[in-house]
Amino acid sequence: MTVKLTRPFVDYWQSANQIMVVLGMSSSAGGKGLSWGIYGPSLMDLADIYSSAPNEVALMNSARALGSFLGSCLGGFLYEHVNDQILMMFTLAIYAVVTALIPSLPNITYLYILGFGGGAAVGISHIGSQVRLVKIWEKQSASAIQAFHTAFGVGAMIGPFVGAPFLSLTENGVTLKETRLYIPYVGFGIFFVVILVSMMAAYCLDPSSIKKTEKDDKSVNSPSSRTLEIVLMILLFFYIQTCVNLEITFSTLISVYAVKSPALQFSKADAAYLAGVFWTFFTGGRIVSIVVTVFFDIKQLLIISHSLSVCAAGILIVFCSSPPLAWVGAAVMGLGLSSMYGAVCGLVLQYFHVRHAHISVILTASCSGLALSAYFVPPIVEVRPMFLMYYSGAGSILHFMLLFVIILVTNGRPTIHSKKEEAQEARKEETAT
């Protein structure tokens, strides 16, 4: 029999641990794509260290993505048999070792192996982190999930600044400064060890497992049928898949579009800044949405967000020859997409007891959304730049339709919280009589 989470300071402590873990993972080697975190900026130096071409070093991302996908698939099963805190500490220890060793391996094959292992650790860890946050902050679960995903963006912004001073410097073929990449990577590894110690201390105070507390709490029954749960998870899968696909496709190819477009003809530097505008508004929107989801209806926030993304696509299509409106469109698209992931999870997960298998499905949707258009969209955009805008516009409309169906299915349904309150009131009345 385990102790239920009843002490607020432990709740805050454990929540802070989960947020710091994801912030560190996104700023070291766990971000989405080579443009995130320290791994992207250090790519050239890693290629020199391993005497390989940059594209060969970049294959670690594929190994990491595969590991993350498998970790997401297996995580739900593992959490059913192991205390979630112990499993998260174990995966964090693995990731600390992986991060510290990245620039110090014998050859590039080991880099791929560690990338796969680190990716699996990320996939498993993120399942446990999100379930624990949702369980701790049931009524503010949307804000908790928004904070979790905001940490990705913040960590991704910090990583390059931490790694930049330790990169090699070459001028006219002459190396003026040797790379010292081992310093930031070992530093991140130590950072994870510090978090691990904090997690161990919190575990000593409260060793409860989310799975066990859910089973022990027999007074609470699901307010929705198993059929509703399955329908909502199917809708959420396709929603998250579309969301991640739009986010990654647009952010990855907006610079290519700006350079290749005959009407815009941005320089590479300006195109990079255009992508930076997208990520700035994206991260800023996520930070703001943490507060917004506490005080405003989640459905209204989602409707506004989708309206912004559709408007952004419309601006970029209708005014495709206007450079100023390209900046506006990128900013509005980033703002529109920013809060969707966390908000829709917070909305849907209110209607049934959250299990690790649910988060496993969500992360699997993210991985598949990331890979969905990775191969066929970029070659088309290279030749026909406007295809990106048509693709984003059609995707935004489809995305909005999925939200409409989710709202339709959940409309009028009691949430977990309302059902709990009704059960408590009923028990009080029985006691009084």
Model confidence pLDDT, tens digit, residues 146-188: 777 777 767 766 766 677 788 787 777 777 788 888 898 888 8
Q: Could you tell me if 269 and 381 lie in one domain?
A: yes
Q: Could you tell me if 102 and 195 lie in one domain?
A: yes
Q: How much is the pLDDT for 426? A: 60
For residue 329, list its beta bridge partners.
none
Q: Could you tell me if 282 and 183 lie in one domain?
A: no
d(CA 252, CA 370) in angstroms, rounded, equals: 11
The reply to whether 48 falls in a domain is: yes
The reply to whether 430 falls in a domain is: no
Q: Could you tell me if 210 and 231 lie in one domain?
A: no
| Concatenated DSSP letters of 59-84 | HHHHHHHHHHHHHHHHHHHHHTTS-H
Count of beta carbons in the 10 Å neighbourhood of residue 248: 19
The reply to whether 87 falls in a domain is: yes
The reply to whether 373 falls in a domain is: yes
Q: Could you tell me if 91 and 169 lie in one domain?
A: yes
d(CA 54, CA 175) in angstroms, rounded, equals: 18
Q: Could you tell me if 231 and 196 lie in one domain?
A: no
Pairing of the two strands 174-177 and 169-171: antiparallel
Mean predicted lDDT score pLDDT of the chain: 81
Q: Could you tell me if 163 and 262 lie in one domain?
A: no
| Structural domain span for residue 405 | 226-419
Q: How much is the pLDDT for 193? A: 92
The reply to whether 432 falls in a domain is: no
Domain at 43, CATH number? 1.20.1250.20
The reply to whether 425 falls in a domain is: no
Number of domains in the chain: 2
Choose the final residue of a domain: 194, 216, 238. Answer: 216
Residues 6+ apart with CB under 8 A from 154: 23, 26, 27, 283
Q: Could you tell me if 251 and 108 lie in one domain?
A: no
d(CA 88, CA 21) in angstroms, rounded, equals: 10
The reply to whether 428 falls in a domain is: no
Q: How much is the pLDDT for 413? A: 82
**Span 361-390, pLDDT tens digits:** 888 888 788 777 767 888 888 899 999 999
As a whole-number percent, the residues of the chain with pLDDT over 70 amount to: 82
Q: Could you tell me if 211 and 256 lie in one domain?
A: no
3-state secondary structure of 177: strand
Nearest to 308 by CA among 263, 339, 342: 339
Q: Is 231:352 a contact under the CB 8 Å cutoff?
A: no
Choose the final residue of a domain: 216, 236, 261. Answer: 216
Count of beta carbons in the 10 Å neighbourhood of residue 29: 27
CA 134 from chain center: how many Å? 15
Q: How much is the pLDDT for 399? A: 97
d(CA 137, CA 2) in angstroms, rounded, equals: 19
Structure pTM?
0.75
In this prediction, the residues of the chain whose per-residue pLDDT falls under 70 are: 1-8, 22-41, 43, 58, 139, 141, 153, 156-157, 159-161, 211-225, 374, 417-433
Q: Could you tell me if 251 and 303 lie in one domain?
A: yes
Residues 6+ apart with CB under 8 A from 326: 258, 264, 266, 274, 316
The reply to whether 3 falls in a domain is: no
Choose the final residue of a domain: 188, 216, 244. Answer: 216
Alpha helices, H only, 174-320: 182-205, 210-216, 226-260, 268-295, 298-318
Q: Could you tell me if 210 and 244 lie in one domain?
A: no
Q: How much is the pLDDT for 425? A: 60
Q: Could you tell me if 147 and 245 lie in one domain?
A: no
Largest CA distance in the chain: 89
